Structure 1
């Protein structure tokens, strides 16, 4: 099976996730500058939320990107790579938006977690499937 279209699909999702991480990082820096906080969150809710949105993304995105890259290398069809990439991206964006709007529970935040876990399940099952010759 030709892995090149899968590599292109993986490149799309890796690129989008890197931009998402950069945007979340910039939002932390903006809050730090606004509140003149160098370290920690100084118990400022907006800064704490920005830090957690970025931190949570950095906890989940790398594992998802590894799954996407290995799926492409294993020759999974581009649609499989896109399914994992889109599900993870939607989950991470939803979670970040939900968390940035409220430090408490929210529908977007919950949906983001569910989609992220679903992407992990899809990726994990697909990896196991494509690992079997």
Structure 2
């Protein structure tokens, strides 16, 4: 089954993941800390931006993909995907700076959680409807 909407946002988020990875590599070589984070604040922020992305994006993409598989509105799928990309860019910008940019980090975190909740509720609704029809 093709999932073109999910594929689009997975590709965009994959590129962002690549950028976050390169920022960690740059910070590691800049600080000379190859394992852990040492005392370098820039490295710590780069690692946390990368890790936070890794903690939230896979679940959000999985939920979007499952919704697409259940033929949820393309409009909703694009909305979720666009908000997720925006949220992750905002969060990455906000957490990467010293001091952090709360005006970007906070909305990035809240929007990411909103995508997960909306996608979960939509998926739950579709799954329950399918179970009642099939059951």
For the criterion TM > 0.5, the same-fold answer is: yes
Matched residues, number: 129
Residue in 2 aligned with 1:106?
102
Q: Retained in 1: the 8 A contact 2:17–2:50?
A: yes
Q: Which runs of 5+ in 1 are unaligned?
A: none
- Residues 41-120 of structure 1 correspond to what in structure 2 (within 5 A)? 41-104=37-100, 106-120=102-116
Which 4+ runs in 1 deviate beyond 6 A?
Answer: none
Q: Retained in 1: the 8 A contact 2:17–2:53?
A: yes
Q: Retained in 2: the 8 A contact 1:45–1:103?
A: no
RMSD: 1.5
Q: Retained in 2: the 8 A contact 1:10–1:85?
A: yes
Distance 2:99 2:51 in 1: 14
Residues 48-92 of structure 1, C-alpha deviation per residue, up to 9 Å, x if partnerless? Answer: 000000000000001001011111111112112111111111111
State the structure with more CA Rg. Answer: 2
TM norm structure 1? 0.90
Shift of 1:28: 0.1
**Of 25, 28, 34, which residue of structure 2 is paired with 1:38?**
34
Shift of 1:129: 2.2
Distance 2:48 2:6 in 1: 26
| SS of residue in 1 equivalent to 2:62 | helix
**Of 4, 19, 24, which residue of structure 1 is paired with 2:20?**
24
Residue in 2 aligned with 1:129?
125
| SS of residue in 1 equivalent to 2:81 | helix
TM norm structure 2? 0.89
